[in-house]
Amino acid sequence: MRKDGDFLFTSESVSEGHPDKVADRISDTVLDAYLAADPEARVACETMVTTNRIILAGEVRGPSSITSEGLIQAARDAVKDIGYDQEGFSWRKAEAANYLHAQSADIAVGVDSAGDKDEGAGDQGIMFGHASTETDTLMPATIYYAHRILHEIRDLRRAGDPRAAGLQPDAKSQVTLRYSNGRPVGATSVVISTQHDEGISQKKLREELGDIVRNVLPEGWMPPEDEFYVNPTGIFVIGGPDGDCGLTGRKIIVDTYGGAAPHGGGAFSGKDPTKVDRSAAYACRYLAKNVVAAGLADRCTLQVSYAIGVSHPLSVYVDLDGTGKDVDEARLGAVLREVMDLTPRGIRKHLRLNRPIYAQTSAYGHFGRTPDDARDDFTWERTDLVDALRGAFNR
């Protein structure tokens, strides 16, 4: 994404009822079940959902108290919570099969700590984190508003609000913003596609969704009427897994920065925090957000890399995109490794990741969420390193 000048940029989001997000939710529900029983459990769960079918597969290592029947019931409960009791996809009627099996011993020996060997990374790979002053959450504005529109629709639908009457769980949004001198100044187009009950008119949908979008976007940002698109095909009655097969991990750009920053090769959902695809991406967001919150830069992108079975990161790269406030990027990279242990064990302990906190991350983005002190969740969104970072640079 360009960071200066005048341009248009677009991000999309998908709702909790999108088929891929249903799969993500089930995979993270399985993960939470294992972590609730054993914080050291290992889980790599993949889910497929289609017309009245739910299929679990992958590798696990955990207590025998977690049964196949219990996991299938947890999956049904997740589907029920999302809101699916339709003819083609019902939490009650869907056939469910569990093909989870024991984790490979070859992976376990590389990851487990033993003797003088620290816990190693669960896989090789690269992970990124990003933060920007475009919004109060320090997220890129396009993905921020795309998420907020769908989150608002979800809240209204669940509350039985008349403004969401007849709307079903499956939905997508897309927001295009105009940037002037590198800053967002308004929306040039908004697209919403949402599943709905049969018989609802396009006019009614357009009016209801238009009010929701106006309430979410800043004043004066609503696009022209002919650039506000609602269900462009004209009808969206058959949706969810009945309309399209869903798989875990297919919405990785929706999960992170909407394309405004790089993404590593791995998805998040269904993976326990020894998998650095997830935990190190969380750590990178945490560090980037604290750099920007500390006033050291207006934008920050981090990259780290790991090798399977090796505890320390092979590299830490910092890019402030020319917005650093008299901060040397190489020095900042060294400071970040001082203020946070970036080994898999260090990340898990610092962010308290070995807990059943993941089902709520599976829709509306893993980043830019508001931490809740009472629940101790979304710890990677906290800005508790600000003082340490400012002190390191004498601010």
Q: What are the binding residues?
A: 18, 20, 46, 59, 103, 170-172, 244, 250-251, 267, 271, 275
List CB contacts of 249: < 8 A, sequence separation 6 or more: 20, 24, 46, 266, 267, 268, 269, 270
- Annotated binding-site members for L-methionine: 59, 103, 244, 275
DSSP state, 90? B
- Annotated binding-site members for ATP: 18, 170-172, 244, 250-251, 267, 271
User: Token pair for residue 51?
Assistant: 């017309």
User: Token pair for residue 372?
Assistant: 């809740």
Closest CA to 28 of 277, 275, 361, 264: 361
Report CA Rg, the chain.
21
Sign of CA dihedral 180, 182, 186, 189: positive
* Cα 76 from Cα 82, distance rounded (Å): 10
User: Token pair for residue 151?
Assistant: 């989150």
- Annotated binding-site members for K(+): 46
The partner residues of 101 in beta bridges, in order of sequence, read 59
* Cα 121 from Cα 169, distance rounded (Å): 36
- Annotated binding-site members for Mg(2+): 20
Cβ-count burial 99-113 (b if 16+ within 10 Å, e if not):
ebeebeeebeebbee
Task: Kindly give the residue spans of alpha helices, DSSP state H, lying in 3-140.
Answer: 19-37, 68-82, 105-111
Sign of CA dihedral 16, 22, 23, 25: positive
- Reported residue count of the chain is 395
User: Token pair for residue 112?
Assistant: 């487990």
